[in-house]
């Protein structure tokens, strides 16, 4: 049985603003992190770490 994605989940990340044609998608970082200090992102089968520092800066590392 195939697993259907749950699009009703409340923890999904929604954009704050609709994407402009050919423009960037704007995400709310607080929603993205959901109270955590680090999130993992997958891009082209590579995992990246996006974390919030003690000084409230964002750092992206591979």
Q: Which helix (H) or strand (E) holds 29?
A: helix 29-33
Calculate the average pLDDT of the chain.
82
38-43, strands of its sheet edge to edge: 38-43, 46-52, 58-61
What does the domain layout of the chain look like in residue ranges?
Answer: 36-61
pLDDT digits (tens, 9 = 90+) for 6-25: 444 445 556 566 656 778 88
Q: Who's near 42: CB < 8 A, 6+ residues apart? A: 48
Q: Which helix (H) or strand (E) holds 31?
A: helix 29-33
CA nearest neighbour of 59 among 44, 36, 30, 38: 38
Q: What percent of the chain has pLDDT over 70?
A: 68
């Amino acid at each position: 049985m195939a697993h259907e994605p749950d699009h009703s989940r409340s923890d999904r990340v929604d954009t704050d603003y609709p994407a402009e044609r050919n423009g960037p998608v704007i995400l709310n970082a607080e929603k993205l992190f959901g109270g955590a200090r680090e999130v993992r992102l997958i891009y082209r089968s590579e995992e990246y770490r996006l974390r919030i520092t003690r000084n409230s800066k964002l750092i992206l590392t591979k």
